[in-house]
Amino acid sequence: MVVVASPNSMIGEKILPIDLPMIDLSAERSMVMKRIVKACEEYGFFNVINHGVPYDIISKMEEVGFDFFAKPMEQKKLVALDKPFGYGCKNIGFNGDMGEVEYLLLNANVPSIPNDSSNFSSIVRAYTEAVKELACEILVLMAEGLGVPNTSIFTTFITQLDNDSILRFNHYPPKNSKDRDNSHSYNVAFGEHSDPQILTILRSNAVPGLQISLQHGVWNPVVPDPSAFCVNVGDLLQVMTNGRFVSVRHRAVTNSYKCRMSVAYFVAPPLDACIVAPSVMVTPNRPSLLFKPFTWEEYKKVTYSLRLGDTRIHLFRNCTQLE
Ligand SMILES: C=C1C[C@]23C[C@@]1(O)CC[C@H]2[C@@]12CC[C@H](O)[C@@](C)(C(=O)O1)[C@H]2[C@@H]3C(=O)O
Ligand SMILES: O=C(O)CCC(=O)C(=O)O
Ligand SMILES: [Fe+2]
- The predicted-structure confidence for 179-210, as pLDDT tens digits, reads as follows 665 656 788 999 999 999 999 999 999 999 99
Region 12-19 average pLDDT: 93
Helix H segments across the chain?
A: 29-42, 55-69, 73-77, 120-146, 155-159, 235-240, 296-305
Whether 100 and 173 have beta carbons less than 8 Å apart is answered as yes
Domain 14-270 belongs to what topology? Answer: Jelly Rolls (2.60.120)
pLDDT(313) > 50: yes
**What's the pLDDT tens digit per position in 275-291?**
999 999 999 999 999 99
Region 36-47 average pLDDT: 98
**Angle at alpha carbon of residue 169, lines to 223 and 244, rounded to 5°:** 60
pLDDT of residue 7: 41
pLDDT of residue 1: 43
CA neighbor of 240 nearest in space, from 267, 204, 201, 264: 267
The structure's pTM equals: 0.95
Which of 92, 103, 250, 296, when mutated, tests ligand 1's pocket best, judged by the most ligand atoms within 8 Å of its CB?
92
pLDDT of residue 299: 98
**What's the pLDDT tens digit per position in 88-145?**
999 999 999 999 999 999 999 998 888 787 799 999 999 999 999 999 999 999 999 9
Task: Looking at the CA of residue 168, tell me the nearest atom of ligand 2.
Answer: 9
Give the distance (Å) from ligand 2 centre to CA of residue 144: 28
Residue 110 per-residue DSSP state: S
Q: What is residue 98's three-state secondary structure?
A: strand
Is 260 catalytic? The answer is: yes
Whether 31 and 235 have beta carbons less than 8 Å apart is answered as no
Region 200-228 average pLDDT: 97
Looking at the CA of 221, which ligand is closest?
A: 2
pLDDT(4) > 50: no
